[in-house]
């Protein structure tokens, strides 16, 4: 295969960027295999981050629509009159489930369970 056929889909600027990046990688003592390993690790981390950010949502037991996890009693606009620290609020029926556990702790617990589940699947 002629290299021109392989690279014709890429503009000249992108090819120059590729050459510069290759020089920088090799100058630092790395290989394209190292870059491939790095990119794969970043892809997996991003996928896990997306799963974890999805933990802020769940289905409402009342209507089946999305419930969002939100902090409460953190400022003048979200006072509930009790000691709640978080709430699962439904976007559909406005059902609410209050908790005295802060959002950060709930997310850490859910993330831990997700990581354990992911490890068990391997």
User: pLDDT, tens digit, for every residue of 53-111?
Assistant: 777 778 899 999 999 999 999 988 889 999 999 999 998 999 999 999 999 998 888 88
Whole-number pLDDT of residue 122? 60
- Sheet architecture: strand order including 96-99: 57-59, 66-71, 86-90, 96-99
Neighbours of 88 (CB within 10 A): 19
The answer to whether 80 and 73 are in contact (CB under 8 A) is yes
State the pTM of this model: 0.53
Comparing C-alpha atoms, which of 73, 64, 118, 68 is closest to residue 96? 68
Whole-number pLDDT of residue 37? 96
The CA distance from 57 to 54, in Å, is 6
The CA distance from 84 to 93, in Å, is 20
Q: Of all residues in the chain, what percent are helix, strand and coil, respectively (each to 5)?
A: 55, 15, 30
**Residue 43 clears pLDDT 70, i.e. is over it:** yes
């Amino acid at each position: 295969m002629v290299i021109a056929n392989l690279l014709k889909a890429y503009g000249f600027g992108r090819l120059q960027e590729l050459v510069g990046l290759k020089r920088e990688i090799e100058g630092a003592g790395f290989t394209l295999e190292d870059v491939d390993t790095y990119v794969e690790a970043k892809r997996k981390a991003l996928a896990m981050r997306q799963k974890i950010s999805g933990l802020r949502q769940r289905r409402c037991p009342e209507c089946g629509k999305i419930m969002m996890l939100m902090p409460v009693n953190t400022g003048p606009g979200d006072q509930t009159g009790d000691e709640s620290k978080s709430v699962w609020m439904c976007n559909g029926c406005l059902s609410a489930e209050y908790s005295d556990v802060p959002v950060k702790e709930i997310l850490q617990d859910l993330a831990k369970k997700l990581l354990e589940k992911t490890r068990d699947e391997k």
